[in-house]
Chains A and B, each alone.
Chain A
Amino acid sequence: GQNIDQPTEMTATEGAIVQINCTYQTSGFNGLFWYQQHAGEAPTFLSYNVLDGLEEKGRFSSFLSRSKGYSYLLLKELQMKDSASYLCAVRLVSGGYNKLIFGAGTRLAVHP
């Protein structure tokens, strides 16, 4: 079966750094996406990793280790608007299409 684990909830302080972890055990792997989802809204794309290493995009960075089945999303200089759920999704290729398996998401609360 496919299994993706993320912490259910995290809290952090405005201006701080937070790391959200994602571990996966899947049959096949072709990349990992991170999405942000504010309450009551659609998920929006943050980052994509297919090779090992760190991808930096402004205040957000994402890391992947394929050998360990592990990824993390790093959020720096936290702002109140970063309070949201963060979804980790593993890409599996089946018949040439982009099938995503999602974790249950991590709800991040940023406090002043």
Chain B
Amino acid sequence: DAGITQSPRHKVTETGTPVTLRCHQTENHRYMYWYRQDPGHGLRLIHYSYGVKDTDKGEVSDGYSVSRSKTEDFLLTLESATSSQTSVYFCAISERGGDQPQHFGDGTRLSIL
């Protein structure tokens, strides 16, 4: 199994609070991704990174920011959480940006009340 750790695994917080989710990898892969998964929508890309300090937006990036200061860590921040951001968040990694599959972490279940 790919060495990907997401933390926390579960979180409940209130609307308007900041939230940071962490993805840590031990594979030294260049590419890292944050997705959210909601019923009926499948996995949707929030942000991705193609190297240290190199990040770009995905299809549902509004309300989210990311940072990658080290190869192994990719942080996802909700500056002011809203109830629409209640979801399961998955981090993924891939060695190259080509035909290699992405490997996923175990997910973070985030509830915003």
> Which residues from chain A sit less than 8 Å from chain B, CB to CB?
4, 30-31, 33, 41-45, 48, 50, 87, 89, 91, 95-100, 102-105
Contacts and interface: CB of A to CB of B under 8 A. Distances in A.
A100 B100 CA distance: 11
Nearest to A98: B97
Nearest to B96: A98
Contact of B104 (A44, A91, A104, A105): A44
Contacts of A48: 99, 101
B107 A42 contact: yes
The 10 nearest A-B residue pairs measured at CB: A97-B97, A45-B101, A42-B104, A102-B42, A104-B42, A102-B43, A98-B97, A43-B104, A42-B106, A96-B97
Most buried by B among A87, A95, A105: A105
Chain A contact residues: over half helix, strand or loop, or mixed? strand
Contact of A100 (B45, B98, B107): B45
B96 A42 contact: no
A104 B41 contact: yes
A17 B100 CA distance: 28
A66 to B, nearest CB: 15
B56 to A, nearest CB: 8
